[in-house]
Amino acid sequence: MVFLVILIASFLLQLLLPWWIIIPISFATCGLIGKTAKISLWAPFFAILLLWTGMALFKSIPNDHILAVRVAEMIGVKSWYLVLALTAILGAFAAGISGFCGYQFRKALLSKNPVAN
């Protein structure tokens, strides 16, 4: 459930908003409906990994990877698919950490033991 919500919401909102919208989407989704810490970490990670890989290929294949090859040359990498992998993994990492933080935030708010100062 968390996977699908993040995947669909991120896809739709990234059509209009910047890339970093995945951060509040993952945080809010896992904060509201994340069942465990493991799900809250891995569901956003794999949702964004799949989404960004798919979208990058969808945009890059029709133009024979021209932009990806140029970016690969700029950063000193030999092939375009390493740029694709790096991009998808960085986005997935950001979403996974954000989802985990959302879950932990909800858990801290619902905690019975307040921290004494």
Answer whether residue 94 is part of any domain. yes
**In-domain check, residue 43:** yes
List, for residues 7-42, the tens digit of each pLDDT value: 999 999 999 999 999 999 999 999 999 999 999 999
Q: Is residue 117 part of a domain?
A: no
Q: Tell me the C-alpha distance between 41 and 102, whole Å.
A: 10
Tell me how many domains the chain contains.
Answer: 1
For residue 62, with 0-12 CB atoms within 10 Å meaning exposed, 13-18 middle and 19 or more buried, which class applies?
exposed
Q: Which domain holds residue 81?
A: 2-109
Predicted confidence (pLDDT) per residue in 81-97, tens digit: 999 999 999 999 999 99
What are the φ/ψ torsions at residue 19 (nearest 5 degrees)?
Answer: -60, -35
User: Has residue 114 been placed in a domain?
Assistant: no
* 116 within some domain: no
